Chains A and B, each alone.
Chain A
Amino acid sequence: DSGVTQTPKHLITATGQRVTLRCSPRSGDLSVYWYQQSLDQGLQFLIHYYNGEERAKGNILERFSAQQFPDLHSELNLSSLELGDSALYFCASSPRSGQGTQYFGPGTRLLVL
């Protein structure tokens, strides 16, 4: 158990819908990273927040957005969902901004029908 929690574990929804994935980092960690893992794209970095501020963006679609709240938990919002958005979504946390170990949460498995 990494200490990172994610909810929900599974999510099944229809195309065009909007969902919110939630992540709570390890106690004391200020950074949260979001990753998407799919069969064809592998494990891809989406976005990084440090202490409430966006620090880096990766291959994140415009339909996706994220934020980190004052209590340091983070939410990833996915809208206008498409079949291709079906994937495992992981968040990871670390104490600082970059240059350190990232501990992954258990992931949210999203299935878009």
Chain B
Amino acid sequence: QQPVQSPQAVILREGEDAVINCSSSKALYSVHWYRQKHGEAPVFLMILLKGGEQKGHEKISASFNEKKQQSSLYLTASQLSYSGTYFCGTETVAGGTSYGKLTFGQGTILTVHP
């Protein structure tokens, strides 16, 4: 089952912050975050493994709440280059093994204006 992302779209001015949420009904092993610009390949941002850790990548960070099967992506002091569609991909474990199948959310469109 597809994870649910919210909000569906965000419009920001440069320098503003945003939070994108990803929620799953299944027990997750990991959450992967990607950014995709129109017509291009998804670009990897970060991966969070179960354990609730928070990871950072420049001004982008994320958290993973294993109990709630939720992850949030935090974008601070947004830049024009942050514009794009953000996807979370969730990975579950079957029989103790993960086979790398990522199930992606529907995406959140982020637009940053000058």
A residues lining the B interface (CB < 8 Å): 2, 31, 33, 35, 42-45, 48, 55-56, 58, 90, 94, 97-107, 109
Q: Which residues of A contact B30 (CB under 8 A)?
A: 99
A99 and B98 in contact (CB under 8 A), knowing A42-B2, A42-B106, A43-B104?
yes
Q: Which of B34, B39, B42, B91 contacts A98 (CB 8 A)?
A: B91
Q: Which of A2, A97, A102, A103 contacts B102 (CB 8 A)?
A: A102
| A31/B104 in contact, CB under 8 A | no
Name the residue on A nearest B105 (C-beta).
Answer: A42
| A102/B44 in contact, CB under 8 A | yes
Give 8 nearest A-B pairs by CB, closest first: A98-B100, A56-B99, A98-B98, A43-B104, A104-B41, A55-B99, A56-B101, A98-B99
For B, the interface residue count at a CB cutoff of 8 angstroms equals: 27
Q: Which residues of B contact A33 (CB under 8 A)?
A: 100-102
Summed over the interface, the residue pairs from A and B with CB atoms below 8 Å come to a total of 71
A99 and B101 in contact (CB under 8 A), knowing A42-B2, A42-B107, A107-B41?
no
Q: Which residues of B contact A106 (CB under 8 A)?
A: 40-41
| B42/A90 in contact, CB under 8 A | yes
| B41/A45 in contact, CB under 8 A | no
Question: A86 CB to closest chain B CB, in angstroms?
Answer: 14
Question: B48 CB to closest chain A CB, in angstroms?
Answer: 11
1/0 contact trace for B33-51 toward A, CB 8 Å? 0100001111110010100
Question: A1 CB to closest chain B CB, in angstroms?
Answer: 10
Q: Which residues of B contact A43 (CB under 8 A)?
A: 42, 87, 89, 104, 107
Question: B94 CB to closest chain A CB, in angstroms?
Answer: 9
Q: Which residues of A contact B39 (CB under 8 A)?
A: 109
Name the residue on A nearest B29 (C-beta).
Answer: A99
**Most chain A Cβ neighbours within 10 Å, of B40, B99, B106, B107:** B99
A102 and B2 in contact (CB under 8 A), knowing A45-B102, A56-B101?
no
Within 8 A of A (CB), among B10-52: 29-30, 32, 34, 39-44, 47, 49
